Amino acid sequence: MAAQRRALVTGGSGALGAALCWRLARAGHFVYVHAHRQAAAAEQLVAALRAEGGAAEPLIFDVTDGAGSRAVLEALLEAAPAPIQILINNAGVHEDAVFPGMAPEQWHRVISVSVDGFYNVTQPLILPMIRSRWGRIVNISSVSALIGNRGQVNYAAAKGALNAATRALSLEVASRGITVNAVAPGILSSGMGAAAFDAATIKERVPMKRAGSAEEVASLVGYLVSEEAGYLTGQVISVSGGIAEGPKIMNIGAATSAVQQHEHVLFLTLLELAIIVAAGRIGGIAARRVHQSAAVGEIVIGILLGPSLFGWVAPHAFSFVFRSAPPAPLEILSSLGLILLMFQIGLEFDFTQLARGANRSAVLRIAVACLVLPFASGLSLGLFLPPAGDAHARIDTALFVATAFSITALPILGRIMIDFGMNRSRLGVIAISAAALNDVVGWLLLALITTLTVSNFDARIFGLRVLLVALFALVCVYLVRPTLKRIVRRSGVRPGRLPANLLGALLVVIFLGAMATAQIGIFAIFGGFMMGVILFDEADLVAAWRDRVGDFVAVFFLPIFFTYTGLRTFIGGLDSAGDWGWCVAIVVLASVSKLAGAYFAARRSGFDRAESTMLGFMMNTRALMELIVINVGLDLGVISSKLFTMLVIMAIVSTVITTPVLRLLEKARDTPGASAPPVAPR
């Protein structure tokens, strides 16, 4: 028998809703029977379900009331031992009238119940469902949305919108084990259909010469929410007895239309890329003009290209550029670029600095302080961030906030120190080494937290994934590393020259490593990072990769990732004083915890006040690295879109303030950091 899951059926008190509830209860699921005006009918149905041995509870709220719906559902999630993993959006109303005589309230009421109701119920439940890595959403549509029906323009519009939402949402959540489908009943023998059509009309319009039954619709829904239907998603299935669904876009001249469609998608994707790359260059140049790292300008441009500015100022142009093409090409390019970037970051970690006895204690002290204090601060704050959820959800969110607080943007910090001439000073060496150690531990921590999250706190699954991660690391260090080092040394690589065969071999290894960690369940980027780490001491390879590939990654792939992040960031979504209060709290607490940890650790290591303050601001630089962390969290569904936006703002603020503050501190010092005595090699 299938495992018992929690199911919610909206509009559960009507004839079709009752059939759906019976089907789910008989399959062994715990059913929440929703109703609004027919609370008594819902309670009677619950009593009947319980009398037959089923598990059910009534749930009374108005799906058109966004705040009320969210309050009820969040309270339910907090009290329930498990998330709702089966959702049937069945609520709907008829208010038929020919369109010229349709009153505004008739239009809005029908639209609101189906479309607003879909959002108000599904949106609070989707993140917990994503975290559980399993879910079934079925939206009850109507054949009226497929063929139209006189007197039902409002109803057809509402259910048509539901069909479109079904297809779009299915694309967003398919990789998380969640299916989203719509069922479009035709004329039914019970409920609204029975009153609308007489027997003669049904025989005329329905090829099967009869009305359908609610139980027949429920049977299909029962299959769609089962384990066996895990590969079926994004479909609108008609249960109409053969009623024609009207004209469809047919594949006439298949070869020609396929080529045209391909060219159209290619054109739109190239348009996106041209705008992204050009805007990224402009942002980088502008940032350099105001003495900021180029990456800071690229990040800001990525945010501005999203709904926060471009979509707000020119919504039609924004939709044409970024919403006309399928999202897959941009998402894949963003992921591919991130994998290559993570390889490059791993490759450029300089672990040899930790071997210097004079620096080791200071590096360890600063790295630990800049990891532990921000992590504890982020964890504490994350446990109280809205929206409230179950205990597991709160911990998931808190762990990702803590990791975002802890990280330091090593590549950006390196650029900043070169700009200030600090890369060979003792202060610079210790800062970059502490940041490197901080980030190594941070990435390991992120991998561990990701493993914990996707395991849904299941000790057996978590233990297995940790074991697989450890096995992957051992294979990389003891098998892949020696083999790759031999290949690299025999390839003739040198600064400025990266042989084609070696580049091909590295790309294959990077992609295989990414595939391995993706299959383990901790995201492909960790595989790319690990492949870089095991080759960090191949100086000629590091220099050749930076010269031949690094610029392409920075110029082409990085702006794509920043824009992809910007498209997911909506600053206008922080629409209340409470939201901005939390945002300020995140920025302040993240910065203060990082600054305080670095400052006091540096003072204990013998640095003066100015140097300790400089170290604090350098370690507070987050930028790119935090964006990677929070994108992982958003993909896993453990942070909300609002929290994502707040953390993006924190990443930008903590990075933008670094350069001007360092410039002020440099002026205040008697001896500039650039002239500090270099660290003697040992």
Q: Which residues are the active-site residues?
A: 155
| 170, 270, 338, 634 alpha-carbon torsion, rounded to 10° | -30
| Residue the block writes with tokens 């802890």 | 406
Tell me the two tokens of residue 575: 């629409």
573-611 burial, b at 16+ Cβ within 10 Å, e below that, comes to ebeeeebeebbeebbebbbebbbbbbbbbbeebebeebb
Q: What are φ and ψ of residue 83, in 5° steps?
A: -70, 165
CA distances, 392 to each of 37, 233, 389 (Å): 34, 27, 8
CA distances, 66 to each of 69, 92, 287, 637 (Å): 5, 16, 42, 21
| Residue the block writes with tokens 């330091």 | 408
Assess whether the previous peptide bond of 678 is cis (omega < 30° from 0): no
40-51 burial, b at 16+ Cβ within 10 Å, e below that, comes to ebbbebbeebee
Give the torsion sign (CA, 525, 526, 529, 535): negative
Amino acid at 172: E
Q: What are φ and ψ of residue 59, in 5° steps?
A: -140, 110
Q: Say if residues 131 and 636 touch (Cβ distance below 8 Å).
A: yes
Give the torsion sign (CA, 316, 175, 271, 561): positive
Pairing between β-strand 236-239 and β-strand 178-185 as defined by DSSP bridges = parallel
How far apart CA 36 and CA 63 sit, in angstroms, is 8
Q: Is 409 exposed, middle or buried (0-12, 13-18, 19+ CB in 10 A)?
A: buried
CA 330 to chain centre: 14
259-264: which pairs have CB atoms within 8 A and are 24 or more residues apart? none
Q: Say if residues 550 and 344 touch (Cβ distance below 8 Å).
A: yes
Tell me the two tokens of residue 388: 């409230």
Q: How many CB atoms lie within 10 A of CB 319?
A: 11
How far apart CA 263 and CA 276 sit, in angstroms, is 20
How far apart CA 188 and CA 287 sit, in angstroms, is 63
Tell me the two tokens of residue 297: 């300008």
Tell which residue, 504, 620, 501, 648, has the closest CA to residue 564. 648
The β-bridge partners of 210 are: none
Query: In angstroms, how far apart are the furthest CA atoms of the chain?
Result: 97
| Residue the block writes with tokens 């896993």 | 636
Tell which residue, 143, 183, 198, 231, has the closest CA to residue 9. 183
How far apart CA 231 and CA 179 sit, in angstroms, is 8
